[in-house]
Structure 1
Amino acid sequence: MTTLPDILRGFRPAGEELLRITQCVTEPYAAVDPRHLDVQVAAGGAARLVVLHTSPELSALRCTLGEGARLELTELFTAEAFAEVAVAQAARSDCRITTVQLASANAAYRIDLNGRGAENTLGGVFLAADEEHCVVRLHTAHNVSDCRSESCVKGVAGGRAVGEFHGLVYVAQDAQRTDAQQQSRNILLSDTARITTWPQLEIYADDVKCSHGATVGQMDAEAVYYMRQRGLSEAEARRLQIEGFVGDIVRRCGIEPLGEALLEAVAAKMKRM
């Protein structure tokens, strides 16, 4: 099986502390265990960046997008890292974030939409087994009018694991015509696992379209029974259901070999759950 580090070695290195993008770059960049990384995408520029955390370190990533810039960020955790990501977006910029926690981790994302027409999309997954503890914090600030944000974070916990999601959408007083959607969906695989979720809206404008929601539930017993009737073991049925649950998020990275390796990593993690 091809590992995540093997795939990333075929990408462009992001450098030690600064990655400056001035044009549209098709080949993905990669950074492994960065302590501090400043990503600057100039007006009209575009890039894809994959960040892999393989050691229990502190990490700070700052992304600045100029007018009309595009950034696709994929952040992966295979170790207990503490990561802070700050994204500042100018007018008509587009940032798409995919975050996947395959081990205990604590990730905090601060999104600032500072220019009209800016868009941000975040899809997140955490898989917590045994006594692992996964945390996702998301603060999305609509600071000006006519911006759009969408987030969906899915969590799965088994054993005695703990998962947390803290989400806040802030809409400033003059940020009219804001469109913000936030979802937290979670599945518990045992009676001793626990997932807590706190989605929040803080709105000071009156012409907005905002929503948030959260669910925490068990696996679909009928679906598991249906699959077992067709020859699958209970473990196989559970694994397939979870892979289907998180698969749409995992595939968002848009880099085919990486997406395939992530699905393999999810399947391997499910064998422990």
Structure 2
Amino acid sequence: MAALTDILSGFRSVGSERLRIGDDSDAEQPFVAVDSAKLRVEVAAGVSARLVVVHEKPLASSLSFLLERGAQLEVTEVFLGEAFAEVRTVQAADSSCCLTAVQLAGANVSYRIDLDGAHAASRVGGLFLAAESEHCVMELRTAHNVPDCTSDSLMKGIAGGNAVGEFRGLVYVAPDAQRTDARQQSRNILLSETARIDAKPQLEIYADDVKCSHGATVGQMDADAILYMRQRGLSLAQARRLQIEGFAGDVVRRCGIGELGEALMEAVARKMETM
């Protein structure tokens, strides 16, 4: 993880339980929080910011992100240890939050997103890689509490060995939250006959003028694609790695920090060597 550590060392460390980002000068360099047991981040109206959250130790943590009107926040959360995290996001009108979560170890994370102001937008990308006997859990509840909000989530999982992965998702649309636009997808790959992934996306809708969709798939690697790559000179291991990197890259490259995204892709490739 040397490349990832080197990149994070250049970011601004969050040194307390509360961080208020009050102007756009704070967006020039990302903030980083490592193994925070409790953290509250507030983004002022109209301000843009970037934050990286890293879990290295097997600790429990409680995080909350509050976005005022028109605020924009990009969060990248990386699990390198067996952490348990609860993450709450509350968004005011016209705000935008993009969250990218990558689990490289057995971990348990629960996200709750409340869209409380008109034209608030949420975008979530999640990826877990479960090897050997690891157990990865991702939960996501997105609540459309007012009209005219959008949410888009893409959750992906890869499990090998005797590992277990779980995704539990819920999109809630409140009464009168008209013109909601919500999408939730879960895509998963099993690398062994003994691995298991359970994916349960759900919709709970109490308004009638909405566009909502959800879906989940759990399958094996694409044998035809692997055969195609092997016919062009790649080994089986190389073909598998390329297919998995393409699958994972859809999520990892959502990260808004280019150098961090590339370091995470390298970490994914190293993790794949154990699967």
TM-score by length of 1: 0.98
Alignment equivalent of 1:214, drawn from 199, 213, 216: 216
Which position in structure 2 is the counterpart of 1:84? 86
Q: Which amino acid aligns with 2:115?
A: L
Deviations 1:44-64 (A, max 9, x none): 111000001001000111000
Question: What's the offset of the Cα at 1:202?
Answer: 0.3
Aligned counterparts of 2:134 and 2:3: Cα–Cα separation in 1: 22
Deviations 1:43-95 (A, max 9, x none): 11110000010010001110000000000000000110001100000000000
Question: What's the offset of the Cα at 1:149?
Answer: 0.3
Alignment equivalent of 1:33, drawn from 5, 24, 35: 35
Aligned counterparts of 2:186 and 2:127: Cα–Cα separation in 1: 10
Q: Where do 1:131-146 residues align within 5 Å?
A: 131-146=133-148
Which position in structure 1 is the counterpart of 2:182? 180
Question: What's the offset of the Cα at 1:256?
Answer: 1.6
Which position in structure 1 is the counterpart of 2:4? 4
Deviations 1:231-265 (A, max 9, x none): 21111111110000010210111212111110110
Q: Which amino acid aligns with 1:269?
A: K
Aligned counterparts of 1:123 and 1:141: Cα–Cα separation in 2: 17
- Partner of 1:3: helix, strand, or coil? helix
Which position in structure 1 is the counterpart of 2:127? 125
Question: What's the offset of the Cα at 1:230?
Answer: 1.6
- Partner of 2:7: helix, strand, or coil? helix
RMSD: 0.8
The count of residues paired between Structure 1 and Structure 2 equals: 273
Q: Where do 1:101-180 residues align within 5 Å?
A: 101-180=103-182
Deviations 1:4-48 (A, max 9, x none): 222111001122201101112221000111100000001111100
Which position in structure 2 is the counterpart of 1:21? 21
Matched, 1:205 2:207: yes
Aligned counterparts of 2:235 and 2:14: Cα–Cα separation in 1: 44
Extract unaligned runs of 5+ from structure 2.
none
Whether the aligned pair in 2 keeps the contact of 1:89 and 1:118 (CA below 8 Å) is yes
Whether the aligned pair in 2 keeps the contact of 1:137 and 1:167 (CA below 8 Å) is yes
Aligned counterparts of 2:6 and 2:63: Cα–Cα separation in 1: 22
Whether the aligned pair in 2 keeps the contact of 1:44 and 1:68 (CA below 8 Å) is yes
Question: What's the offset of the Cα at 1:128?
Answer: 0.5
Question: What's the offset of the Cα at 1:118?
Answer: 0.2
Aligned counterparts of 2:256 and 2:118: Cα–Cα separation in 1: 26
Aligned counterparts of 2:230 and 2:2: Cα–Cα separation in 1: 30
Question: What's the offset of the Cα at 1:212?
Answer: 0.2
Whether the aligned pair in 2 keeps the contact of 1:2 and 1:261 (CA below 8 Å) is no
Deviations 1:111-170 (A, max 9, x none): 000000000000010011101100000000000000000000000000000000000000
Alignment equivalent of 2:95, drawn from 81, 93, 96: 93
Aligned counterparts of 2:4 and 2:87: Cα–Cα separation in 1: 21
Q: Which amino acid aligns with 1:89?
A: Q
Q: Which amino acid aligns with 1:207?
A: D
- Partner of 1:61: helix, strand, or coil? strand
Q: Which amino acid aligns with 1:48?
A: R
- Partner of 1:245: helix, strand, or coil? helix
TM-score by length of 2: 0.98
Aligned counterparts of 1:176 and 1:255: Cα–Cα separation in 2: 34
Question: What's the offset of the Cα at 1:3?
Answer: 3.0
Aligned counterparts of 2:110 and 2:69: Cα–Cα separation in 1: 25
- Partner of 2:265: helix, strand, or coil? helix
Alignment equivalent of 1:44, drawn from 31, 43, 46: 46
Question: What's the offset of the Cα at 1:213?
Answer: 0.3
Q: Give % identity.
A: 67
